[in-house]
Amino acid sequence: MSKRLLILLALLLIAAMALAACGGGKATQAPAQEKPAAEQKTEQAAPSGGGEECKVVFGAAVSLTGKYAKEGEYVKNGYELYVEEINKAGGIPVGDKKCKVELKIYDDESNADRSAQLVEKLITEDKVTFLLGPYGSGNTFATTAIAEKYKVPMVEANGAATKIFNRGFKYSFAVLSPAPNYLRGIIDMALDKDPNLKTVAIVIENGAFALEVAQGAKDYAEEKGLEVVYFDKYAKAAKDVSSLITAMKSKNPDIVLGAGHLQDTILVMKQSKDLGLSPKVFGFSVGPTSPEFRKALGKDADYVVGAAQWTPELKYQSDDIFGTPQHFTELYKAKYGEIPPYQAAESAAALIAYQKAIEAAGSLDKDKVRDALAALDYDSFYGKLKFNEQGMNVYKPMAVMQNYTDGNLYTVWPKEAAVKEFLYPFVPWDQR
């Protein structure tokens, strides 16, 4: 009986493989995932006396497949760019010697439970020195709890929901501005351009980050005298939001704001075109600022604005390894062939925060570095790195970028950093 079952299983596998093959499998390239096992042979090495080589291992679970695969790729790029640059410079100074930096990244498949499991594995099996964050608030919420449990610091760069930081955790730090602030810049900019705007519609991905973004935007819009005429959620895995678009269109809003991530933002744009929804301003929390947005939508990306934690055009000056946003952009472009999305910059900034804390602590001791992180106040290429007592970076402003009709992305807000004027209004679909 069991033999027959085995044969059955084998047949099943073969059939499924045949299926996969005739589906055009040869077209795919090897996934960008690295085999961490190959590059990492030993566990961490604390800076011990003698001639032993010193090494810092940063571990992270990042989404390399699944819904957040694209954003996760940017995160991984940011981490890797920093590691490459710092190792070129000899490593992170710890006391009187320099420690080489290693990275160990697993794919969490855009799944929070998986992310937490992998972080536990990073701590207990791989014995990494410090932790970096995953992509997204849901995954960060799950993994920071594991970091806290084992008292290993985690500086994260991609979880903006404030609920991550309302649990009294001591070992979690975020370099990015919190979620409720995301869409404020867009509202300010729109009203600055046209004070006669009256109504806002907000569509929301049903997840920790987006819900906070939306609530923050709603409160702020109402404070500014706008009327919120539509405010509703779609499922996290939604592949069809045409019902929400239909409902929004019937309200004829001046501004449409989307709180969500790259893939659902692209979906909202596509179906808005399908159904002819043309407000005067289209703005989103995540999506329009990444190169993938333009690739997916082509000319339909024109005029759309997106919130940005960081842009290549900001005027920060720093003595960190990147120096300025412009230099970071050059290095990133040379390595990855595209303009860096802010997810890459903030991810690299998480490592800068670690570096500065390690330098200040003069040690790789987890608790000493944690204390140094809590006391950190540093101006990086990414902006101010300073944490409040909850671990959030509330000191750094948000910017706005717009997809221009020439196919490029430009910073259009705040005014002092803007390189182009905000193109207004959004040209309706039927007039293009």
Partner 1 sequence: MESLQFTQGIVNAILLSGTLTLVAIGFSIVWGILNIINLAHGAFLMVGAYITYWLFTLYGVDPFLSLPISMAIMFLVGYAVQRYLINLVIRAPLLVTFLLTFAMEIVIINLATFFWKGDLRSVTPDYAGLGFTLGNVQIPYVRLAAFIISLILTGLLHVFMTYTKTGNAIRATGMDIDAARLQGVRIPQTYALTYALGTALAAGAGTLISISFPIDPTMGGAYTLRAFVICVLGGLGSIPGVMLGALLFSFIEVFSGIWFPSLKDAIALLVLVLVLIVRPSGIAGKAFYH
Residue whose CB is less far from partner 1, 153 or 260 = 260
How many CA atoms within 13 Å lie on the side-chain side of 16? 6
Phi, psi of 244 (to 5 degrees): -70, -40
Residue 1: CB minimum distance to partner 1, A = 12
Largest CA distance in the chain: 77
Residue whose CB is less far from partner 1, 272 or 393 = 272
Strands (E), 326-389: 377-380, 383-386
Residue 13: CB minimum distance to partner 1, A = 7
Residue whose CB is less far from partner 1, 24 or 49 = 24
Residue 263: CB minimum distance to partner 1, A = 5
- Nearest one of 379, 416, 351 to 173, comparing CA atoms: 351
Residue whose CB is less far from partner 1, 111 or 380 = 111
Residue 337: CB minimum distance to partner 1, A = 18
Tokens of 342: 């802010």
CB proximity list for 304: less than 8 A, separation 6 or greater? 269, 282, 283, 284, 288, 293, 402, 403, 426
Sequence-separated contacts (24+) of 153-157 with Cβ below 8 Å: 153/366, 153/369, 153/370, 153/373, 154/130, 155/130, 155/131, 155/350, 155/351, 155/353, 155/354, 155/373, 156/132, 156/350, 157/75, 157/78, 157/132, 157/133, 157/343, 157/346, 157/347, 157/349, 157/350
Residue 404: CB minimum distance to partner 1, A = 20
Residue whose CB is less far from partner 1, 51 or 298 = 298
CB proximity list for 415: less than 8 A, separation 6 or greater? none
Distances (CA, A) of 253 to 137, 228, 249, 374: 29, 9, 7, 43
Give the separation between CA 339 and CA 409, rounded to whole angstroms. 9
Residue 11: CB minimum distance to partner 1, A = 6
Residue 4: CB minimum distance to partner 1, A = 8
Give the separation between CA 380 and CA 390, rounded to whole angstroms. 21
Residue 129: CB minimum distance to partner 1, A = 30
Residue 350: CB minimum distance to partner 1, A = 24
Give the separation between CA 277 and CA 397, rounded to whole angstroms. 31
Residue whose CB is less far from partner 1, 7 or 375 = 7
Give the separation between CA 257 and CA 196, rounded to whole angstroms. 17
Residue whose CB is less far from partner 1, 102 or 107 = 107
Question: Which helix (H) or strand (E) is 107 found in, with range?
Answer: strand 97-107
Give the separation between CA 107 and CA 9, rounded to whole angstroms. 28
Give the separation between CA 165 and CA 159, rounded to whole angstroms. 10
Give the separation between CA 12 and CA 214, rounded to whole angstroms. 46
List contacts with partner 1 (CB under 8 A): 8, 11-13, 15-20, 22-25, 27-28, 31, 65-67, 69-70, 109-110, 206, 232-235, 237, 239-240, 242-244, 246-247, 249-252, 263, 266-267, 270, 273-276, 296, 298, 300, 430
Residue whose CB is less far from partner 1, 267 or 344 = 267
Residue whose CB is less far from partner 1, 201 or 364 = 201
Residue 258: CB minimum distance to partner 1, A = 13
Residue whose CB is less far from partner 1, 55 or 233 = 233
